[in-house]
């Protein structure tokens, strides 16, 4: 049993939030009614990735189409976007490397995960028909997002470098890069829309895992039953 009493704080003072204090350096532990899901460093890395992603997105969209040209005004004009976009892209790629390293060991797809990410499995998930007691800390969809994001980032980085320094590359490489950068970013963005929706409106209680770093026990039991059992030591069906 890794559960610790609320009074046992490691925040240094007695005034802080016990769960958040634990979440600074630890995860997968029970603190009172909460379970620490993402330690501070994981959350910081995630938000740096998110911030650089949106800087890339909003500086890239006005270059992508004049219909979204108004977004350029957020940064001081299209010329600023064209300077900022590649550098934000580099920052995004670097932050993504840290994110990849911190989560990769937990993102191995199990047999159950592979079933989860089939069209049938995804439909079951979105229709709330999945009573899968075997979902661990991350479900198949989250793992799929992780790998798709990794692949997408590599694709965006490579094609982005070609677009940044086009004169160093042959014509066909440039042409392919414009097309692939376009395809990669649109699929990435479509995926992130789903990611944000699931992390906020669709599954209440999820967003706090990226803010406080903690989730409630009932949230964990609903969405990640096997992880809940592992962390709390409760038996299946309990």
Instruction: By CB under 8 A, name the binding residues for another protein.
Output: 33, 63-67, 69, 78-79, 81-82, 126-128, 163, 166-167, 171, 174-176, 178-179, 182-183, 185-187, 189-191, 193-194, 197, 201-205, 215-219, 221-223
Tell me if residue 181 is catalytic: no
Active-site pick, 46, 85, 195, 223: 195
As a whole number of angstroms, the distance between CA 227 and CA 137 comes to: 5
Residue 6: Cβ within 10 Å count? 12
As a whole number of angstroms, the distance between CA 94 and CA 140 comes to: 25
Cβ proximity to another protein, 16 vs 66, nearer residue: 66
As a whole number of angstroms, the distance between CA 43 and CA 209 comes to: 8
Cβ proximity to another protein, 74 vs 175, nearer residue: 175
Cβ proximity to another protein, 13 vs 127, nearer residue: 127
Q: How far is the CB of 41 from another protein (least distance, A)?
A: 25
10 CB contacts (<8 Å, ≥6 apart)?
21, 22
Q: Over the range 122-153, which residues count as b (16 or more CB within 10 Å of their CB) and which as e?
A: eebbeeeebebeebbbbbbbbbbbbeebbebb
Q: How far is CA 196 from the centre of its chain?
A: 9
Cβ proximity to another protein, 79 vs 114, nearer residue: 79
Q: How far is the CB of 215 from another protein (least distance, A)?
A: 8
Which residue is listed with tokens 């994001």? 149
- Judge whether 35 and 215 are in contact, CB under 8 Å: yes
Q: How far is the CB of 116 from another protein (least distance, A)?
A: 15
Cβ proximity to another protein, 81 vs 149, nearer residue: 81
Q: How far is the CB of 19 from another protein (least distance, A)?
A: 12
Which residue is listed with tokens 């911030």? 51
Q: How far is the CB of 151 from another protein (least distance, A)?
A: 16
User: Catalytic residue positions?
Assistant: 195
């Amino acid at each position: 049993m890794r559960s610790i009493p609320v009074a046992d704080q490691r925040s240094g003072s007695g005034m802080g939030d016990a769960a958040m204090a634990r979440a600074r350096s630890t995860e997968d532990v029970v603190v009172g009614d909460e379970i620490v899901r993402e330690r501070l460093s994981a959350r910081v890395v995630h938000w740096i990735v998110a911030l650089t992603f949106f800087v890339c997105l909003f500086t890239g969209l006005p270059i992508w189409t004049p219909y979204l040209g108004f977004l350029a005004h957020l940064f001081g004009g299209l010329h600023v976007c064209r300077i900022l976009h590649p550098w934000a892209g580099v920052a995004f790629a670097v932050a993504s490397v840290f994110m990849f390293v911190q989560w990769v060991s937990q993102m191995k797809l199990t047999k159950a995960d592979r079933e989860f990410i089939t069209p049938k499995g995804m439909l079951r998930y979105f229709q709330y028909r999945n009573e899968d007691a075997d979902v661990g800390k991350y479900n198949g969809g989250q793992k799929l997002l992780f790998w798709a994001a990794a692949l997408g980032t590599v694709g965006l980085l490579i094609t982005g470098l070609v677009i940044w320094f086009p004169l160093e590359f042959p014509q066909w490489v440039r042409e392919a890069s414009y097309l692939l950068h376009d395809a990669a970013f649109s699929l990435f963005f479509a995926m992130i829309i789903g990611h944000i929706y699931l992390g906020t409106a669709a599954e209440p209680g999820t967003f706090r895992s990226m803010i406080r770093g903690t989730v409630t026990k009932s949230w964990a039991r609903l969405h990640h039953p096997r992880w809940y059992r592992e962390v709390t030591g409760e038996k299946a069906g309990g």
